[in-house]
Structure 1
Amino acid sequence: MGKLIGVFACLVIVALDIIGGILGIRAEAAQNEEKHLRLWIFECKEPSHDAFVLGLAAATLLGIAHVLANLLGGCSACTQEELEKASPAKQLSMACLIFTWIILAVGLSMLVIGIISNHKSRASCGFTHHHFLSIGGILCMVHALFAVAYYVTSTSAIDR
């Protein structure tokens, strides 16, 4: 029964991250459909409500997947001393945990920058800002890999 719950948890985490990634990429496509005027490295563009909503949904799903992975994975080695004495499986678990936090920080930052640039009150001119939403979407998918790796390694380290 425990393995079945683990497989279901991994599938939910992957589904949330993949859907978030697809929404981030679709938000980028919706942003590119809006009118914009470009002169060398300067660009004036209208905000896209669809890109705003899709980007917000992608960021929300990324956050939910991250919280779920961290709650289910637990903390197998929480101090520096425990980590130094830990088995390779626990050390791998902590490495995956650190990578998920880094990917969350970068991916969420990219999505938030894309969301802010598509807020209704932000019709702006300035330097070009391309691909923030799609990069955030791709990082959602990368987050799925490390979150599942963290869950699997942390639960296998507990079983030992």
Structure 2
Amino acid sequence: MNKFIGIFACLLIVALDVTAGILGIKGEAAQNQEKHLRLWIFECKEPSHEAFVLGVAAATLLSLAHVLANLLGGCSVCTTQEELQKAAPSKKLSMACLVFTWIILAVGLSMLVMGTISNNKSRASCGFTHHHFLSTGGILCMVHAVFAVAYYVTSTAALP
């Protein structure tokens, strides 16, 4: 029964992250369908409501997948350098995956939020070009799935 819960948790995390990635990429496609005028590095682009909604949904799903992976993975934090050196290899790998999931979350969520804000209705202005924030954030959602599942698997394997 415990093995079934673990498999279900991994599939749920992957489903949330992949869905977030697809929504981010679709948001980028919706943004690219809007009218825009470009002159060198300056660009005037109409905001896309569909891209805004897809960006919000992608950011929400990425956050939910991250919270779920961290709650189910438990807390396997080493507090001192000495404790980390004495830790088992599976615990060290778990810590590395945890750090990578937080880094990927920070960068991916930032990209999704920047892409979403650029599609806010009140932001119909000209400025420097901001390309591929939503699609890059979507790709990072899928990378997050790999490290989140690796964290969950290694942290549950490290438990006594």
Q: TM-score under structure 1 normalisation?
A: 0.97
- Aligned residue identity for 1:118: N
Tell me the residue number matched to 1:138.
Answer: 139
Tell me the residue number matched to 1:70.
Answer: 70
Shift of 1:138: 0.2
The CA distance in 1 between the partners of 2:7 and 2:146, in whole Å, is 14
Tell me the residue number matched to 1:101.
Answer: 102
Gaps of 5+ in 1: none
- Aligned residue identity for 1:133: L
The CA distance in 1 between the partners of 2:10 and 2:152, in whole Å, is 8
Within-5 A mapping of 1:38-117: 38-80=38-80, 81-117=82-118
- 2:16 is the counterpart of 1:20: no
- Aligned residue identity for 1:71: L
Tell me the residue number matched to 2:151.
Answer: 150
Tell me the residue number matched to 1:5.
Answer: 5
8 Å CA contact 1:20–1:57 kept in 2: the answer is yes
- Aligned residue identity for 1:130: H
- Aligned residue identity for 1:146: F
Gaps of 5+ in 2: none
Shift of 1:83: 2.0
The CA distance in 2 between the partners of 1:61 and 1:19, in whole Å, is 8
- Aligned residue identity for 2:138: G
Shift of 1:12: 0.1
Tell me the residue number matched to 1:123.
Answer: 124
8 Å CA contact 1:96–1:146 kept in 2: the answer is yes
Shift of 1:48: 0.3
Runs of 4+ in 1 over 4 A off after TM superposition: none
The CA distance in 2 between the partners of 1:12 and 1:22, in whole Å, is 15
8 Å CA contact 1:18–1:140 kept in 2: the answer is yes
- Aligned residue identity for 1:41: I
The CA distance in 1 between the partners of 2:65 and 2:157, in whole Å, is 20
Identical columns (%):
82
- Aligned residue identity for 2:127: G
- Aligned residue identity for 2:47: P
Q: TM-score under structure 2 normalisation?
A: 0.97
Shift of 1:85: 1.6
